Amino acid sequence: MPMLLLLLFIAVPVLLSWPLGNFMARVMNPSPSTGTDRLQLLLAKTGGRMLDVEQDWKGYVRSMLLFNTVMFFAAFLMLALQQSLPLNPDAKGSLEASLIFNTAASFVTNTNLQHYSGEVSMSYFSQLFVLTWLQFVSAATGIACFTALARALAGELHVGNFYRDLCRSVLFILMPLSILLALLLVVGGVPMTFEGAATARTLEGVAQTIARGPVAAMVAIKQLGTNGGGFFGPNSTHPFENPTFLTNFFECVSIPLIAMSTVWMFGRITGRMRHAAVIFSVMMLLLILKASLAIWLEGAPASALSGLPIEAASNLEGKELRFGTGTAAIWAAVTTATSNGSVNCMHDSLNPLTGLVPLAGMWLNVIFGGVGVGFINMFIFIIVGVFICGMMVGRTPEYCARKVETHEMKLALLALLVHPLLILAGTAVFASTSWGSGTVLNKGAHGFTEILYEFSSAAANNGSGFEGLGDNTVPWNMATGIVMLLGRYIPIILPLAIAGSMSAKKPVPETIGTLRIDTPLFAVVILGSVLLIGALLFMPVAVLGPVADYLSTAVQ
């Protein structure tokens, strides 16, 4: 049964990704032949001359950084003034300064790591006009930068206009899909109201306050934009965010949908559909392997049940009985294969080796990933793989008919090392000081994994939490906020610099010695690069965390 669920939950977004990817290519890269140049005229009338200027990769990056900086400070200001702004029927108070910094950094970077509980801390204004707004524009930033990368690899020196691409992403892709999903969720029972919290009286006569609000609007974009930031603290385990198996299905298939579609969009823009199919197949293989392992490992009973009559049961600790173990394992795999980070079970309660599955997804950070940026991360592994193959046969490496030389490799290696550096350095500091050791719920290997997971989630712009961690402290808020900012923008800027450098070179004609990028052999090259480099970078810390946790419970 769990494997049938896996087939259902993955087959639907795969089938939908093909037409959506074609549509996204026409929207983001319109031409007179597609008829979508009318969108360009519409944007020109509303956006003015700022949207008309064609930019090279440097200008594109400057515009992206400027816009994101403005977003950050606007979000910071609105969160700081939350108590004085409208749409606050439950009179939510002010937030602590380091928490404001962390939250602004989190949502600007498409991470949506939450060191607060939304229904407790945030007003409706903050939820809608700060956090939900950021989930739209941060996801659109990823799509826009990915589009620029694709244009550069297609040989264009001018990679477009960031503001124009941002508007296209929001208005014609994210908004329509989010409205459709929100309507489906409302029909499924997800609240959408501006009334304050409801008061009810239990059978024992005790008064109970039930938080509610404009939930459906936020949940829709949190899933489609690979954001993950929940309206409520428990995220998609909460019955108001995810009331039924049907809403669980809609939300889960929405997580990888746009990320999968960007691969086909890349093929359309570059004119290399067979190459896109190779990349899609590698990502899909990794996703299926990841989800299958999660289902199998979580089917074993929890060690805490040893010796009890229910010992033979699968691990139901921390699971919503509405969804069961299988669906929870699938969600945990999918949400960390993308940089979504929403949860429908408690990851801290996963069996130790199951907990390694979401960690591996965030460490590799290329299995579809966030909308747009997942492919950008994969591009780095492709460049490294192409370079290694070229050196093995004594030939200058080539990719998309452009030579990959020393300058591009320096940037690629720097981009490759930033991710593990942020994770491992942060984990080392917090595991060895009271900043981290004093905030874990469990000591030993499991507590180490809690710290490791938090930095992995922040660096991968994922946002999910292992929990069991008292992370709403000034050191945690500041450290993860900085990691999220660095982990978002450096891995975007460096690949764009590589693609921009390659686009300026003369095309190299393919010969019999050229490494074909549209063959099964190239799929093996990509897969080998991802797995080998990922293992070299993270295997030691995996042994110190989840593997040691498993061995300690096995001995007991």
pLDDT at 78: 95
CB 464 within 8 A of CB 347: yes
Helices 520-542 and 273-298: angle between axes, nearest 10 degrees: 40
Over 361-393, what HEC string results?
A: HHHHCCCCCCCCHHHHHHHHHHHHHHHHHHHHC
If one counts the domains in the chain, the total is 1
Predicted local distance difference test score (pLDDT) of residue 309: 65
Residue with tokens 């519409």, as numbered in its chain: 42
List the chain pLDDT tens, one digit each, 556 residues.
667 878 888 999 999 999 999 999 999 988 755 555 566 666 666 666 677 788 999 999 999 999 999 999 999 999 999 999 998 988 888 999 999 999 999 999 999 999 999 889 999 999 999 999 999 999 999 999 999 999 999 989 899 899 999 999 999 999 999 999 999 999 999 999 888 888 888 888 888 888 888 999 999 999 999 998 889 988 999 999 999 999 999 999 999 999 999 999 999 999 999 999 999 999 999 999 999 999 998 887 776 666 666 666 677 777 887 888 888 889 999 999 999 989 998 888 888 899 999 999 999 999 998 888 889 999 999 999 998 888 887 777 888 888 998 899 999 999 999 999 999 999 999 999 999 999 998 888 999 999 999 999 999 999 998 878 889 999 999 999 999 999 999 999 999 999 999 999 988 887 777 788 889 999 999 999 999 999 999 999 999 999 998 888 765 5
pLDDT, residue 432, reads: 93
In the three-class reduction of DSSP (H, G, I as helix; E, B as strand; rest coil), residue 199 is classed as: strand
pLDDT of residue 196: 85
Note whether residue 466 is domain-resident.
no
385 lies in some domain: no
How far is 553 from 556, CA to CA, in rounded Å? Answer: 5
- Residue count (the chain): 556
Cα 496-377-164 angle, rounded to 5 deg: 45
If we measure between CA atoms, which residue out of 357, 283, 377, 264 comes closest to residue 26? 264
d(CA 9, CA 252): 7
Residue 385's nearest CA partner among 371, 366, 372, 370 is 366
Please indicate, yes or no, if residue 553 is contained in any of the structural domains: no
Q: Is 68 domain-assigned? A: yes
Handedness of CA 100, 101, 103, 109 (dihedral sign): positive
Q: Which residues contact 21 (CB under 8 A, 6 or more apart)?
A: 260, 261, 262, 263, 264, 265, 267, 268
CB 450 within 8 A of CB 468: yes
The answer to the question of residue 262 being in a domain is no
* 262 vs 142: CA distance, rounded Å: 10
pTM of the model: 0.93
d(C-alpha 383, C-alpha 35), whole Å = 34
Evaluate whether residue 401 is within a structural domain: no
Q: At what angle do helices 273-298 and 324-337 cross, to 10 degrees?
A: 140
Q: Report if residue 153 sits inside a domain.
A: yes
Residue 35 lies in a domain: yes
Question: How confident is the model at residue 51, as a pLDDT?
Answer: 77
Structural tokens at position 468: 């069991």
Per the structure, the complete domain to which residue 159 belongs is given by: 16-199+208-256
